[in-house]
Structure 1
Amino acid sequence: MTNISLKLAETITSNGIKAVYGEPVVIDGTTIVPVAAIQYGFGAGSSGEGDDAAPGVAGGAGGGGGGVSIPFGAYVSDERGVRFRPNLITLLAVGIPFLWVAGHAWSRVIRALKK
């Protein structure tokens, strides 16, 4: 089981930068390169012969994994130059909680300075 996990992790890390920056796409003379944040997680387990094995129970093994990709936006190259175009939904999903926490912290700082 461990060998499979190591092979899978090695395969994904060897594709690292290709996963973050997608393949360039050319549409009507404009080149678009998508950008995303990626995160993977893998696990494996085993219960068999040894101190933790239950008496009379056959050994077992298991494993799993998962991943997530968050699209941040794209680099766009055209006659006006290269610029980054953010994904507005991701920007709002990250920005709203950040602004709430920052505002809450700022109000506590102001309250502490008034005392």
Structure 2
Amino acid sequence: MADTFASLIEAFKNMGVSKAYGAPVQVGGEEVIPVALVSFGFGGGGEAGPDGASGGGGGGMVLPLGVYRNVGGQVSFRPNTVMALFCLVPVISVVGAAVRKAIRAAKA
């Protein structure tokens, strides 16, 4: 079990900014750097009983947010439109709920 935990620690040391920003790539005469939202987690547990049951699990996700473009020294960010719309869904839902409550309160 200790070897497994040590290997998990080593694997997660490599996660972070290096996984959120990809290696620069030359595309059509311009340099692009892919950008992503990287999230991961894991957990485990055990029971101090006669059978000593234990378990664990983990998971992660990567959402491609867009790319940084470097054209002639000018750097700009170009978002992934589909992912931007996907990320706005919770914001729009909360604003819609707040407006609905405000209208109901104004009518009362």
Q: Which residue of 2 aligns with 1:74?
A: 67
Which structure has the larger Rg? 1
Q: Which residue of 2 aligns with 1:87?
A: 80
Q: Which residue of 2 aligns with 1:36?
A: 36
Does the 8 Å CA contact 1:32/1:76 hold for their aligned counterparts?
Answer: yes
Q: Percentage identity across aligned positions? A: 37
Structure 1 position 108 matched with structure 2 position 101: yes
| Structure with higher RCO (Cα < 8 A, 6+ apart) | 1
SS in structure 1 of the partner of residue 66 of structure 2: strand
Number of residue pairs matched by the alignment: 108
Structure 1 position 53 matched with structure 2 position 46: no
TM-score by length of 1: 0.73
- Give the distance between the partners of 1:63 and 1:77, measured in 2 at CA: 43
Does the 8 Å CA contact 1:38/1:67 hold for their aligned counterparts?
Answer: yes
Gaps of 5+ in 2: none
TM-score by length of 2: 0.77
1:13-24 matches, cutoff 5 A: 13-24=13-24
